[in-house]
Structure 1
Amino acid sequence: MTLTNQDVVELTAWRRKLHQHPEISNEEEKTAEEVVNFLADTGPDKVLTGLGGHGVAIVYDSGKAGPTVMFRSELDALPIHEVSGVSHSSLVPGKSHMCGHDGHTAILAAMGRQLGRKRPAHGRVVLMFQPAEETGNGAAGVVVDPRFGGIAPDLAFSLHNLPGVPFGEVRVKAGVVNCASRGMRIVLEGKTAHSSMPETGVSPMMAVSQLMPALPALGNGTFADDEFGMVTVTHVTMGEAVFGIAPGNAEVWATLRTRRDERMADLCAAAETLVKKIAGQQRLSARYDYHEIFVASVNAPDAVEHLQRALNEEGIAHGEDDLPMRASEDFGLFGHSAASAMFFLGAGEQHPALHNPDYDFPDDLIPIGSRIFMRTARNILD
């Protein structure tokens, strides 16, 4: 159940290769090929590609009856220009692994090496290399793929590295660990006019100026409250970038966030009512649509118990501090059909934050993460 020194060297080099060649959400074709090629010599019993886009599922089957246990990582990078200065920095301008998905992928690959040497005693392990986590459509695409039904897990586990937490420590708890969220794009349409005669048109300016504070004001409750809701305006555009035309259209983008999926429906309804009211007052037509939809990630108590047992047996410190998190994570969708749990692995208290341009995944987390996952798998299936 342990990696050799050579394994660690090779996994580290491979992680850095992935880091140098990032692919953003829904573009992870070459990254997926890297996964398949890297694990080919482990002799998997089944390999599924193109799941939910560019997802890969690699299955290690005991050939005996038992549960299916899935471990998931993400393949996608971010549209961020890297400034970390590390020798293996991104070679793709404007794209980089600033969330550590390259490291998570290496942790699952480490499991593949060990499972290739020794299958579980019963049941099977599915290593799910999921695409498009950052945009929220990756897990959804995987789940609706007809082939997923053939490997659908009874238990599902995932991890995410977490800067700000002491290196190698774990945060895990039952219940909500990541918020539900979705992006709301609001389109306002009026009528353009000459900038010397704005009264002859219908400008969205006043509606935009009202929506920018009114949307965040829909939020309520403290984060510790199940009724918590939050709205963040993220982008605004209005008219053309010229001086001679009074604007006739605008867009306001906002992210809606709640602890519970049920609360999200209420928050969306409130935002829609607000948009209709303000647009009507300003003689504008309005429409809206939703993007990057994440359900809440809710850890099942029995799945958490499996993780806590593994952590205790491996002597890894763990607690519930820092949870739940306001950030979203599309792993939550797997929890709608399986007992699932996600834990957070400390990247160091002073480590650059996720999505920062100077972030880089700490390679020394690879053996730690794989130890936790492997102990969990062996406890369940051996």
Structure 2
Amino acid sequence: MPVINRIADFSEDMKTWRRWMHAHPELGLECHQTAAYVVARLREFGVDEVHEKIGVSGVVAIINGQGVGPTIGLRADMDALPMQEMTGLDHASQTEGLMHACGHDGHTTMLLGAARYLAETRNFAGRVALIFQPAEENSGGAKHMCDEGMMDRFDIKEVYALHNLPGEELGAFITSPGPLMAAVDTLRVNVTGLGGHAAYPEECRDPIMALVSMAQALQSIVSRNLPPMEQLVISVTQVHGGTVDNVVPETAWLEATIRSFTPEVRNMAEKRAGEIISGLAAAFDVEAEVIYERGYPATVNHSKQTEIALEVARELSGEDRVDGQGGVSMGAEDFSYMLEERPGAYLFLGQGDGPYVHHPQYDFNDEAAPYGASFFAKLVERLNSVGR
């Protein structure tokens, strides 16, 4: 099955929607202009219900099918990144310091395309809930929407999402059952010693010596506390201390990102980090404040829902362009919160060659949008087939 003809027919409209959103990026939870644009398109399509300001600026639209059936949730993210665009395109960002560098404008467009088709055809039973979410990049917009009771309010039974993937063949689909993307946590360590003249270190308690040892010792968690077949990343990404060459500073600090796939590994990493830092603080006679912030949980696909999604992807793009055992990444994604509340699946959609996401010259490939819209539409028709 190729791209749905009707969706191909309005692909130029999808390009127009996407490029408007690209030119008008918004950050975090404050995606009000984007949400208003989405709502205007949804009302044009004739969806049955539009619910606004869920999770600050999120939108949920309902399309009723034929007869009784479950509600299938389809999610797209709307927010941009705090980056300066360097594409030079006619539709480049008109907002200084913000750009759609991750393709969320494309994700929203794909879901709008599916909405238009599903509202026209209604060749499915039950309902579809179209979820347009803010703040995937930084504030956990999915959690905000879930915490407001979205899943129960709209009786959503399963939930699905797509993310574009530069460097993979246009129209290819990649995912796998089980853990797909990592949980992401942030460790900060504030070390306080005793400052003084660098020529007389014996009169000081050097926080930098302690901090350097902590940064090195944290790597032993991966090499010595983790079973070899498990996965964990600990990257110290900031080390700060001191202002001049002849002064031992009073304080210094570091930050690290810690990424894992299972609750057991996540708990172990937090516990060992605290123990290592405490022990080294005592060894260097300094004080250490540990701030451990848990971020997005791991994105874990449900096996049954993943297999159904892969079947639809194979019908759409062909067996040779679908990888059902790939895509596992130490990146993070807040769709994980929705998958904790409901079964579902998250897939990557190839968009051809070009700069990778989060690059100042990235741009979503408009040719990928009909594939994503067709996937969403056919998934709903497969899950909620009429007369099933």
TM, length-normalised to structure 2: 0.89
- What's the secondary structure of 2:234's corresponding residue? strand
From 78, 100, 104, give the equivalent of 1:101: 104
| Residues 1:319 and 2:323 aligned together | yes
| Residues 1:178 and 2:181 aligned together | yes
Output aligned runs, 1:142-291, within 5 Å. 142-193=145-196, 200-220=203-223, 227-239=230-242, 241=243, 246-291=248-293
**Range moving further from structure 2, 364-373 or 166-175:** 166-175
Q: How far, CA to CA, are the matches of 1:192 and 1:26 in structure 2?
A: 42
CA positional deviation for 1:312: 2.8
From 343, 346, 353, give the equivalent of 1:339: 343
CA positional deviation for 1:20: 1.5
Identity of aligned residues (%): 30
Which residue does 1:115 correspond to in 2?
Answer: 118
Q: Which amino acid aligns with 1:188?
A: V
Deviations 1:127-182 (A, max 9, x none): 11112212262222111113542124211111111122112111122122112221
From 59, 62, 65, give the equivalent of 2:65: 62
Is the contact between residue 3 and residue 110 of structure 1 (CA under 8 Å) also seen in structure 2? Answer: no
**Range moving further from structure 2, 260-269 or 55-64:** 55-64
Is the contact between residue 139 and residue 334 of structure 1 (CA under 8 Å) also seen in structure 2? Answer: yes
| Structure-2 change in CA distance of 1:367 and 1:244 (3 Å) | same
Q: How far, CA to CA, are the matches of 2:292 and 2:16 in structure 1?
A: 39
Is the contact between residue 136 and residue 292 of structure 1 (CA under 8 Å) also seen in structure 2? Answer: no
C-alpha RMSD of the superposition: 2.5
Q: Name structure 2 gaps, 5 residues minimum.
A: none
Q: How far, CA to CA, are the matches of 1:46 and 1:234 in structure 2?
A: 45
Is the contact between residue 22 and residue 105 of structure 2 (CA under 8 Å) also seen in structure 1? Answer: yes
- What's the secondary structure of 1:57's corresponding residue? strand
From 43, 47, 57, give the equivalent of 2:46: 43
Which residue does 1:369 correspond to in 2?
Answer: 372
CA positional deviation for 1:30: 2.0
Moved over 4 A (4+): 194-201, 223-226, 241-245
Q: Which amino acid aligns with 2:350?
A: G
Is the contact between residue 75 and residue 129 of structure 1 (CA under 8 Å) also seen in structure 2? Answer: yes
| Structure-2 change in CA distance of 1:27 and 1:284 (3 Å) | farther
From 88, 94, 99, give the equivalent of 1:85: 88
Q: How far, CA to CA, are the matches of 2:31 and 2:227 in structure 1?
A: 36
Is the contact between residue 188 and residue 285 of structure 1 (CA under 8 Å) also seen in structure 2? Answer: yes
Q: Which amino acid aligns with 2:339?
A: G
Q: How far, CA to CA, are the matches of 2:247 and 2:31 in structure 1?
A: 42
Q: How far, CA to CA, are the matches of 2:124 and 2:169 in structure 1?
A: 35
Which residue does 2:334 correspond to in 1?
Answer: 330
- What's the secondary structure of 1:369's corresponding residue? helix
- What's the secondary structure of 2:10's corresponding residue? helix
| Structure-2 change in CA distance of 1:200 and 1:346 (3 Å) | same
Q: Name structure 1 gaps, 5 residues minimum.
A: none
| Residues 1:354 and 2:357 aligned together | yes
CA positional deviation for 1:23: 1.7
Is the contact between residue 50 and residue 60 of structure 2 (CA under 8 Å) also seen in structure 1? Answer: yes
Deviations 1:80-101 (A, max 9, x none): 2221222212222222111111
Deviations 1:14-60 (A, max 9, x none): 21111122222233222222222222222332222222232211111
